[in-house]
Amino acid sequence: MSTTRRPDLDDLEVLALVARTGSIGQAAQELRLSQPSVSRRMLALERRLGVTLLRRTKQGTTLTPHGRLVVDWAGELLDAAERFTRSVATLRAEGELVVRAAVSMTIAEHYAPAWLARLHAGAPDLQVSLSVANSTEVERLVRTGAAELGFVEVPTVPDGLRHQQVGADRLVVAVAPGHPWADRTEPVGAAELAVGGVLVREEGSGTRVTLEEALEREGHTLVPGLVMASNNGLTHAAIAGMGPVALSERALEADLELGELRAVPLDGVFLLRPLTAIWSAEARLSAAAVRLLESADQAFARPHHP
């Protein structure tokens, strides 16, 4: 193992500048340092390397033969250090242009595309790595750091996370035209809805949590008719006549307009839920994540959103 101590890169840069200018005083002026400070650094470098680098005379400062060799070798080292610094800066810049986000399924299907389009229009170089899961899984991804920013659709904001509501979404209960509830003029109450065989999303889904909590507030427990982790699957099951389906109004919009499904009037069941951005309380959002959050918030300012 070598006993020579590694020189400081900054000191090697100063040595190269002294060699170029031919004067410690001129080098100090370019560096905006005092001449004694530069002299001390050169003496310290000589002691560290164990060789004399500079010949100091009244006419100026010149390199010794050893000094010329060290400056030549240092040039390669300083060039490599500059390449390293630029590479790290590029890596950091790329990291600042990528945001890892997680969104619930309903948000992914019906809201996130507009957010991402708005984001791309304003920041075309920004990349979003998007994970899609139910709201409970989105929360887990944020807590573990797998996602920097999450968007969920649950009535109650998870504890221990920072949050910001960006919009709202309403659940609708709908049935096929042949279902007994299709032509009802009297609203369906919480008690009847709870045992009405509603087709629902899986546990952990914000859609299901919203329905369950709405019924529990009225003193009733949901008894699902069918559980499926797919909005489209539930919609098709409802159209086929398997029972009422409870999903986002946006998820059922097209089928309601086409008459494939009919919305059921409800009494005493509040199904409006917030769409909320969540992130770690222990971390500061990156600039890229802030841009995504702003894009989501601005999209809901448009009048056609609920």
Q: Residue 151 — φ and ψ, nearest 5°?
A: -130, 125
User: What is the average pLDDT across 239-252?
Assistant: 96
**How far is 217 from 18, CA to CA, in rounded Å?**
80
Q: What's the predicted TM-score (pTM) here?
A: 0.67
- Token pair recorded at residue 92: 């950091």
Name the residue with higher pLDDT: 79 or 198: 198
User: pLDDT tens, 24-48?
Assistant: 888 888 888 888 998 999 999 999 8
**Three-point CA angle 227, 232, 233, nearest 5°:** 40
- Three-class SS state of 130: strand
Domains of the chain, each with CATH number or no CATH = 9-94 (1.10.10.10), 98-299 (3.40.190.290)
Distance CA 136, CA 183 (A): 36
Nearest-angstrom CA–CA distance, 99 and 292:
8
Helix, coil or strand: residue 273: strand
pLDDT in tens, 64-95: 999 899 999 988 888 888 877 766 554 454 45
Phi, psi of 41 (to 5 degrees): -65, -40
Angle between helices 112-122 and 287-299 (to 10 degrees): 120
Cross-strand partners of 173:
246
